[in-house]
Amino acid sequence: MKHLSTLSATALLSLSLAGGAIAADLKPEEQIETRQAGYQFMSWNMGKIKASLSGDYNQETVQKAAEAIAGIANSGMGALYGPGTDKDVNGVKTRVKPELFTEQAEVGKVAGDFVAAANNMAEVAATGDEAEVKQAFGALGESCKACHKQFRKDD
């Protein structure tokens, strides 16, 4: 674990614990659907930020979108990767790779980086400086892609 930064380790802990006892309450297919719901809602908000940065910059839209993303990122989605959620189940499909369930240190790193980037984005969005927001948004997008590349199947 020593290659994990303190921030990543803290974020990983947060991912693991915040939803802690809850995974057991959702069936595997419900866990898959719920994590996908979180990603879909974040994706919509990423799209709003991208559109705002590409057109007329709207600080309020960007800040609210960034806060939605950060709220979801901080909510303990690790709990939605419980036993039995590593493959399609009861008609609910998942693109997760098996590696996500075995490479704990690497998962902790990408998850921690993502949470940190989402929180940074929300902080920067509150300042309303478009150039800084663009940079923070780019970093957040990279943190998404890093996980997709390693732990999500292409189709």
Residues 115-136, buried b or exposed e (16+ Cβ, 10 A)? bbbbbbbbebbeeeeeeebeeb
For the beta carbon of residue 101, count every other beta carbon within 10 angstroms.
15
Shortest separation between residue 81's beta carbon and a second copy, angstroms: 13
Q: Is the dihedral of CA 149, 92, 20, 42 positive or negative?
A: positive
- Residue 128 backbone zone (phi > 0: left; psi -120 to 50: alpha; other: beta): left
Shortest separation between residue 29's beta carbon and a second copy, angstroms: 13
Residue 68 within binding range of a second copy, rule CB under 8 A: yes
Shortest separation between residue 99's beta carbon and a second copy, angstroms: 25
What residues between 99 and 128 interact with a second copy by CB under 8 A?
A: none
Residue 38 or 141: which CB sits closer to a second copy? 38
- Binding site for heme c: what residues are annotated? 144, 147-148
Residue 135 within binding range of a second copy, rule CB under 8 A: no
Q: Does residue 133 contact residue 25 with C-beta atoms inside 8 Å?
A: no
- Binding site: what residues are annotated? 144, 147-148
Q: Does residue 12 contact residue 108 with C-beta atoms inside 8 Å?
A: yes
Residue 71 within binding range of a second copy, rule CB under 8 A: yes
Which residues are near a second copy by CB under 8 A? 14, 17-22, 25-26, 33-34, 36-38, 40-41, 44-45, 47-48, 51, 55, 58, 60-61, 64-65, 67-72, 74-76, 80
